[in-house]
Amino acid sequence: MAPILALLAASFGFGCPALAQDEDERSAIEQALEASGSPAIGAVRWKDGEVMIRTAGLRESGGDNAVTSDDLWHIGSNTKSMTATLIARLVERGDIAWDDTIEQRLGTHVQGIDPAYFDMTFLHLLSHRAGLVANVDQPSMLTFMGEGLSGRPMSEQRLDYAGRILSIQPSTTPGSAMHYSNAGYVIAGAMIEQATGESWEDLLRREVFEPLGMDSAGFGAPGDSETVDQPRGHRASITGPVAVPPGPFADNPPVMGPGATVHLSLPDMARYLGAHIEGANGVESAYLSAENWQRLHTAPFGGDYALGWGLSGSVILHAGSNTMWFAQFVMMPEENLAIAIVFNDGGSASQQAVIRDLVGLMR
């Protein structure tokens, strides 16, 4: 995983962007692509319900297929906000409660849980306050990579993952401080799977993708391994970005889904971010109550991390990468504005500078 919190902690220099305000937006996105060094870039703005999309570059470095406005992009840890949104839906249905504990939901399914974790709730897990390590160790990661090809039910794999993590001594005192953890989201996924008897994947499709009209959304690296029908993620090399065809080594293990594996199109990013902006601004919706929209966008134990979202003053944001893609989501409720900027290679300092400039230009 890339250092996701690096952008969350950074100050967005919205004033004086390097891309001049009066430049044509299509020229600006091409300039941004060149400055980033990435094979391709996509940007979408949702403003007062209106959507603007810009793309530039190639689906595959060295190829001849240009990216399009409907192409699919992997969003890495921005998946976390979708898992939190799913949990909010399940809370409203009465399937679970925000203060359900690890012991309550997993105690009879997972052996050897360190008692320090017993009282940790969904709120602790989703705000990275449960004291968990970031990930399983590398040998376990390789095991789960193989499990992803085995056909073993994901709910079983996530219980296995939870057992490996919850037997490890806490990295910080549970409940006391934020410690960013992909593992916490996998455990939250395991908890809702045991509560509902359904997989996280099926729940996310039914409770998030379908009601918000996100028809393009799916899991893992997008596209076909034989035909370059979608953008491909890229690994860094001394000769430049190297395309990684869709397959088991083009993403995190599927077990990590609740924190890291969603892909979708730019129009569907706009639909998703637009729903969150309207929720943050108190627009009445049948999708979630005002109380639960506010819950998603508020740090439950203080600090600058809510439930799947980072906070920087009035700005709500998150970044995500599986080291082969990079995606930045930025929401400004006071301006009724949301922006997503995506690349089909891993995060870099050049990309971060481009993101700051494009956000300033697109406001």
Q: How far is the C-alpha of 332 from the C-alpha of 316, rounded, in Å?
A: 6
In a domain, 344, yes or no: yes
In a domain, 114, yes or no: yes
User: 230 and 178 in one domain?
Assistant: no
Q: How far is the C-alpha of 249 from the C-alpha of 265, rounded, in Å?
A: 22
Where does residue 275 rank: exposed (0-12), middle (13-18), buried (19+ CB within 10 A)? buried
Q: What is the pairing mode between strands 315-320 and 337-343? A: unpaired
User: 288 and 221 in one domain?
Assistant: yes
User: 224 and 198 in one domain?
Assistant: no
The string of DSSP codes covering 130-175 is S---SS--HHHHHHHHHHTTTT--HHHHHHHHHHHHHTSPPSS-TT
Question: What does the DSSP 8-state code read for residue 4?
Answer: T
CA–centroid distance for 312 within its chain: 17
What pLDDT score was predicted for residue 25? Answer: 59
Q: In terms of pTM, does the model score above 0.85? A: yes
Last residue of a domain, one of 202, 237, 260: 202
Instruction: Give residue 296's domain range.
Output: 5-78+213-362
Counting the structural domains of the chain, the total is 2
What pLDDT score was predicted for residue 24? Answer: 59
Longest CA–CA span in the chain (Å) reads: 61
DSSP helix, strand, coil percent of the chain (3-state; round to 5): 40, 15, 45
User: 229 and 154 in one domain?
Assistant: no
Last residue of a domain, one of 202, 234, 256: 202
Residues with Cβ < 8 Å from 333, sequence gap 6 or more?
277, 280, 281, 314, 316
User: 157 and 255 in one domain?
Assistant: no
Q: What is the pairing mode between strands 242-244 and 310-312? A: unpaired
Rg (CA), the chain: 19
Q: How far is the C-alpha of 83 from the C-alpha of 258, rounded, in Å?
A: 6
Where does residue 351 rank: exposed (0-12), middle (13-18), buried (19+ CB within 10 A)? buried
User: 183 and 107 in one domain?
Assistant: yes
In a domain, 208, yes or no: no
User: 91 and 67 in one domain?
Assistant: no
User: 197 and 240 in one domain?
Assistant: no
Residues with Cβ < 8 Å from 87, sequence gap 6 or more?
96, 98, 122, 126, 188, 192, 307
In a domain, 51, yes or no: yes
In a domain, 93, yes or no: yes
Side chain identity at 231, as an amino acid letter?
P
User: 190 and 72 in one domain?
Assistant: no
Selection from 297, 326, 325, 294 nearest residue 312 by Cα: 297
Question: What does the DSSP 8-state code read for residue 70?
Answer: T
- Tally Cβ neighbours within 10 Å of residue 254: 21
In a domain, 148, yes or no: yes
User: 356 and 242 in one domain?
Assistant: yes
CB 356, CB 12: distance < 8 Å: yes
Q: How far is the C-alpha of 186 from the C-alpha of 156, rounded, in Å?
A: 12
What pLDDT score was predicted for residue 8? Answer: 42
| Regions of the chain short of the pLDDT cut 70 | 1-26
Selection from 102, 95, 56, 37 nearest residue 234 by Cα: 37
Side chain identity at 16, as an amino acid letter?
C
User: 71 and 158 in one domain?
Assistant: no
CB 264, CB 217: distance < 8 Å: yes
What pLDDT score was predicted for residue 26? Answer: 66
In a domain, 207, yes or no: no
User: 161 and 190 in one domain?
Assistant: yes
Last residue of a domain, one of 202, 234, 264: 202
What pLDDT score was predicted for residue 16? Answer: 32
CA–centroid distance for 45 within its chain: 18
CA–centroid distance for 167 within its chain: 26
Q: Which CATH number goes with the domain that contains 268?
A: 3.40.710.10
